[in-house]
Structure formats: C-alpha cells, structure tokens
Chains A and B, each alone.
Chain A
C-alpha cells in the first residue's frame, strides 16, 4: 500500500480580503516544534505594509458605520467558524509548538464570543452623560480611533493575536497585523476564517515576515492612528515609540503574562483603541 503524498498549503499575506504573496517575492522558513520546516511564510515588505494600511483605511468607513449589533454578530460568527475548524487549529497550534493546543484554541474561540458581546455595551459602561451647568444635553461616547496597527505577541501565536485583535475591531477599527514571526502560520489560517465570517475585506490585514523590519514602518506610518506594541521586543520599544510621535499615535501595550486567564480580557482593552467624543447639544423650547 503506497502512502498518499500530502498536498501542502502555501501561506500568503492577507491584504484587503485577498491572499497574495509578498510583492518582494520573499519568503522565510517556519520551523515546527521538532525543528523541521513546517512551511515557508511570505516575508512582507514595506510596500506590502503600505498596501495593508491602504486596505484598512478603505475598509474603515463602512465597518465603523456598521451597527454595533451587526459587528457583534460578525465577531460571533468568527467564533462559530473557528469552532468548526477546531481540529485544524489544534493541529496547527500543536505542530507549531503550542504548549496546550486544545486549551489555546478553546480560549481563542471564547475570546471572540466575549468581545462580540461588547459591541453594543461598551457605550453604556464607559460613555457618560455629563451634568453641565448650562442648558445643554452633554454626553460623551467612545468612537473607534481609525486604523490600528497590531504587533502580535510572539507567543502564544493564536490566542495572543486574537486577544489583541478582537478588542480593536469590535468597536469598528480596521487593522494591520504583524503576526508572530516564529509562528506566523496560524495567523494566516485565522485570516481564512475571517474571510468567510462576514468580516469585510480590509478590516483585518495580516502580514507575516520579519517583524523587526516591518515595525518601524508601521510605527512611523502617517495614516495609522494607533498601534498595539504588545509584541514589540523590549530592546525596540524606545525606537518604535519615538516613531509613533510622528503623527501622535496612540500607543497601547499589554503586559499580560497569562493569556488564557480571564484577566487578559477587558472592556478597557476595547476603549484603548477608541476616542471619547463629547457633544454639546442645545436644549430649549
């Protein structure tokens, strides 16, 4: 009996709803837990990153204008689709060297469900009506910041990424994600899930590659409003944060050590990528 030769998957970048190789034609080998090559991942270039930002900016208007109910359902749909591909995710996380692959995938699905519910509750909990001493109805509501760059933590590659991505998009931001450099493959598989979960094209753009090469371009990009630097290694923090000053980027960083804990999720992670808008509406007969 001859063994069937497997069909290997080509991992590409996910930009603007399409899967494409890096325009630079580069890739890099990704090693599994056993030290053998799992696959080659695309090594995104500065141009790819700019395409990602452009796709995010284009997707922003419609996604941020979608109703919170709609965005909540889309995030819940992501959870449904991941659950359906649970075995695949467990397999991929495990082969990439994830410690407890089943637990990580379960926690990842649950994180989507948890954040999905915040889409239409964050305004209640963290907005305000302000009792000003003048005849105005004065209120403060959180609004999405705009285009958000996310440097995902290297580990755990799936749960870490989702823990940073879900709170950023649930409020209506569009994102450009730099996946874990040593374990990028599962981020591309997640992109396949997002592409079939009614997440509009361009809301989540995923780049794989040399994060130290890409980070400065993301941090200095004038059309990125906020950046999550959770995955930026300590020795690069100063450089990256300095570049953020170029357009007064909001800098968000989580120091979470235990991503599977409930403590790794919070409505304040949602508002970290939001702006508070205050409106003075006149009152009078």
Chain B
C-alpha cells in the first residue's frame, strides 16, 4: 500500500496535469562534441589529399536538409593513387608485420572508438538521420567490439582453419552502404587488417562523415600510412574501385541490383568477392509466442533504423489464431513510437536517409495500396523540413504483392498469415532473398525445426536484429555470399599456402 506522501505526490501530479496538459519535453543530445570541417579531402597514404578530380560534393543532414560539409569526389586518378598507396603499404609494411603487431593497432582503434563514442554517435546521427539512441547504443558499441574481436585474431590465424596455412590476399576494395556507416566500415576494415590485408574503403555518398572521422582515429593510432585509405564519392567512384586491376578482393554491402553489377564487373578477373546484399526477411509469430515480447521484436525488426536494414523483418507471418490480437497490439504500439528529430534521445524513428530513398519508399507504399492491401499509419506530426516517413503496416497482403516481394528499405511492414509450420516455412522461403528470418514461439524444438528449414543465413529466435562480432552474418541465394563476423568472417580475406586445394 502506498504511503501518505506518495498519495499526496500523485494528487499534486494529477492536479498539475489538469491545469497545464503534459507537453512533450524534448531531450536533445548536444552537438557541441562534434567538429565538422567545412571541407574534407581524400584519406590516402596516411594523409589528406586534395582530389585530382577537383570536385567536392555536399553532404547534408536528412533531418533538416541543411548542408553539413563538402566532401571530395574521388575520380579514376584518385582511386589509382589510393590503390597504389594500399599496395605499397601491403608490400612494404603490413603483410609481413607479425600478427601480434597488427593486433596492437586494431586494439588501439577499438579503444579510441570507445573513448570517442559519443562524438561518433552524434556525427552518425547528424549525417545519416538515425536516432541517437541507436547510434549511441548499437552502432558505436558494435563497431568498437568488432575491432576488439578481430584484433585478437590477428596473431591466431594459424589456429583458425584446420589443415590450412593462411596468407593475406593483398589489397581489398570495400564499398559500404549508408544505413550503418561506421559499423559497416568496422565490419570491413577490422577483418581485412587482422588478416594482413590493406584496404581502400568507399563510404556511401550520403553518409561519409563518420568514416572520415575514423581516418582521424586511424592517424592517432599510428597505423602505418596506406594500410587504410578512404575515398569518398558516389556509385561512380565505387565502380572505379571495384573495377580497378590493382586490387585482389572486392567486398560490397548494398543492394542486390548493384551486387549483380559488381559480380559482372569482377567476372573473369580472378578477384575474390564477397557480397552482402538485400533481403525480405520473414518474421514468423506462432500462436504460442509471448505476444507482447513479439510485438517489441516486430517493432525492432522493421522500425529499427527506419527499416534501412538489409536484414529487416519486413514480412510478418502470423499464425491465424493470433493474427487479429497481434495486429491490434502492434497498431497500439505503433502509435506510441516517437518519430522525429534523430538527435532527441527519446526518438524511436528518425529521418529517412535521403530524398531518393524516401521516393522509393513512397512508390512502393503506393503500390501496396494499389494492389489492394490495407494500410495503417499512426497519427504523427512529421517535421516540415527533412525526409520523413511514418511507421507503416499493411494487412491483407498476399505473396504476389510487390510489398511482399521487393525490398522497401523503409519503415514498412507487410503482414501475412499462415496456419501450419509447413506453410510458414514455404511462405518464408518464397523469395529470391535469404538473409535473415525470425521465429517467435515458446517451444524450443519448434525453433530448431524452423531454423533448419528456413533458407536464410541468420535465424533469430524470440529476438530480431541482434548482432555480435563473434557471430557470422551473411546471406543465402540473392542476398549474397561470404560471411562477416566470427571465425567465418576471416575466410574471405585469406589465401592458402600449400597443403589442400582450397
């Protein structure tokens, strides 16, 4: 029983509310911690180098459309220089460096990311539009952990692959997307460096700033010049890089369409290739699932990072008996999501990354309506400037609808139903993609039964969108090939000496 004081406080509280209705008090993260240069050059051979192309492009905040900085656009000559710097660093400094020495640099980078995590998180949110809550609690801790994890592998590679003696490939060309800019840089750079390769990294054109700040960390860590080179630019720069004859390996994360273009470009060159591409993941809820927990998992599965997630749980498959209840609770939960200023610590759904992506989402949502699915969007006030899309769900979706087949890469959930586990498996696998899937049930045996039948590289049971540096990530089918993270994430960066054909 509450004591008298508490009762009095409650009364006072209620009284206040009656007089002045609760307004929302934003809790905005300060941007003072971040210093953005008015202009960024290319990071080549350990130095900042003006682009030979002579061009710079603007990077803006998608939440305000305000310009943040101008960033160099690397042309063919610039990519040449970066690849040459990476090659020289590989031959002269890095490849022969003992693993324990390489490890020291990676540990330094991991520590620096931890120390400067808030600065990075704020910058990530400013440049990309994701909620500060996520960049602070997900992107940054995971990026630092990734460097720390792979640092430990650098001097243990001889134990990783039974019967094989590893050696580095040489120079890796890496192209990363805009949805997890720093984290993807970490996923690419950490295993490459741990295995003795040098890299040329091309960040996405809408989110280059945290990769450029990482260059600062790399300089502070005294990493030998040329081991990591960062060339900014758009798709053209990326195509110069992946098509460059001086690289030994291409690693790409992005859309399946671009992945296919890259696979064609690499054809016949003998370059090693890994692709982490799109997805249309099924998130499958059985009638025995803990529904409130499932609702949170569904929200995390599709509205996390505005749905700009390749492994997003964009197709919800619900067992018929609980479909109505679940959709009801989901709609109620959607209405409590806070959409808006990504720098506000309470924001759940931030800004759409670019106007181009916003148009794509709008187009697909329109197709969903045209195809006859029923749309639901909670009432929410969207800021006037910036790129925004409210959390959206569709019921009455069939497998032939575009919103059930194509990757939307936005906060849009398509809901389908099923009766039996077999039907759930069939529907879940009915896609050219195969990156991830979710299963919600209280029955452990069913989790493993489902897991063994779902054709996807990552299966989350009673959770979704969870990552760990020790846990391999990557797709089946048209979601790509190769794994990132864990023991298996080393393999794409290694060649083998003697003993064993592969």
Contact = CB atoms under 8 A, between A and B. Distances in A.
B14 interface: no
Given A269-B501, A277-B451, A278-B458, 7 more contacts: A244-B267, A245-B261, A254-B501, A266-B163, A276-B474, A278-B473, A281-B448
Q: Top 7 A-B pairs ranked by shortest CB distance?
A: A238-B268, A241-B267, A245-B263, A132-B468, A268-B502, A242-B267, A266-B500
Contacts of B413: none
A132 B460 CA distance: 13
Nearest to A133: B468
A5 interface: no
Interface in A133-184: 133-134, 136, 138, 140, 143, 145
A69 interface: no
A267 interface: yes
Contact of A281 (B447, B486, B500, B501): B447
B68 interface: no
Contacts of B476: 145, 275, 277
A282 interface: yes
Given A237-B268, A248-B481, A130 B466 contact: no
B275 A248 contact: yes
Nearest to B467: A132
B466 A280 contact: yes
B35 to A, nearest CB: 32
A263 B473 contact: no
Interface of B: 145, 161-164, 256, 259-261, 263-264, 266-268, 275, 277, 432, 444, 447-448, 451-452, 456-463, 466, 468, 470-474, 476-481, 483, 486-488, 498-502
B500 A278 contact: no
Contacts of B459: 277-280
Contacts of A213: none
A138 B466 CA distance: 11
Contacts of B472: 128, 130, 140, 276, 278
Contacts of B164: 268
Nearest to A284: B462
Contacts of A264: 501
B163 A267 contact: yes
Interface string A246-257: 111010001010
Residue among A132, A140, A240, A272 with max Cβ neighbours from chain B (10 Å): A140
A278 B471 contact: yes
Interface residues of A, number: 43
Given A263-B500, A280-B460, A246 B260 contact: yes
A247 B500 CA distance: 29
18 contacts: A125-B162, A128-B472, A130-B468, A133-B470, A138-B468, A140-B486, A239-B267, A239-B268, A242-B268, A248-B477, A275-B476, A276-B457, A278-B473, A280-B459, A280-B471, A281-B448, A281-B451, A281-B461
B486 A128 contact: yes
B488 A241 contact: no
A242 B462 CA distance: 40
A272 B502 contact: yes
A276 B456 contact: no
A273 B432 CA distance: 18
B488 A128 contact: yes
Contacts of B256: 248
Interface string A207-251: 000000000000000000100000000000111111011111010
B339 to A, nearest CB: 28
From B145, B444, B476, B499, residue with most partner A Cβ within 10 Å: B476
A282 B442 CA distance: 10
Contacts of A130: 468, 470-472, 486-487
A256 B483 contact: no
Contacts of A145: 476
Contacts of B477: 225, 247-248
B153 to A, nearest CB: 13
Contacts of B263: 241, 244-245, 248
Contacts of A131: 470
A285 to B, nearest CB: 13
Contacts of B473: 278
Contact of A247 (B432, B444, B462): B432
B488 A266 contact: no
Given A245-B260, A266-B500, A267-B163, A132 B470 contact: yes
A265 interface: yes
B10 to A, nearest CB: 35
Nearest to B434: A275
A231 to B, nearest CB: 15
Contacts of A250: 481
Contacts of A237: 267-268
B462 A282 contact: yes
Nearest to A142: B488
A268 B165 CA distance: 13
Contacts of B458: 277-280
A164 B470 CA distance: 32
Contacts of A248: 256, 259-260, 263, 275, 277, 477-481
Contacts of B452: 143
A242 B264 contact: yes
Contact of B457 (A128, A266, A269, A275): A275
Nearest to B470: A130
Contacts of B275: 248
A280 B463 contact: yes
A76 B245 CA distance: 45
Nearest to B442: A282
Contacts of A247: 432, 477-478
Contacts of B432: 247
A29 B268 CA distance: 31
B457 A238 contact: no
Contact of B268 (A125, A241, A279, A282): A241
A143 B462 CA distance: 22
Contacts of A136: 463, 466
A267 B500 CA distance: 9
Nearest to A138: B471
A136 to B, nearest CB: 7
A242 B452 CA distance: 32
A263 to B, nearest CB: 6
B500 A277 contact: no
Nearest to B142: A133
Nearest to A234: B268
B444 A277 contact: no
Nearest to B479: A248
A153 B121 CA distance: 53
Contacts of B444: 281
A247 B263 CA distance: 10
A56 B389 CA distance: 45
B15 to A, nearest CB: 43
B471 A265 contact: no
Interface string A58-77: 00000000000000000000
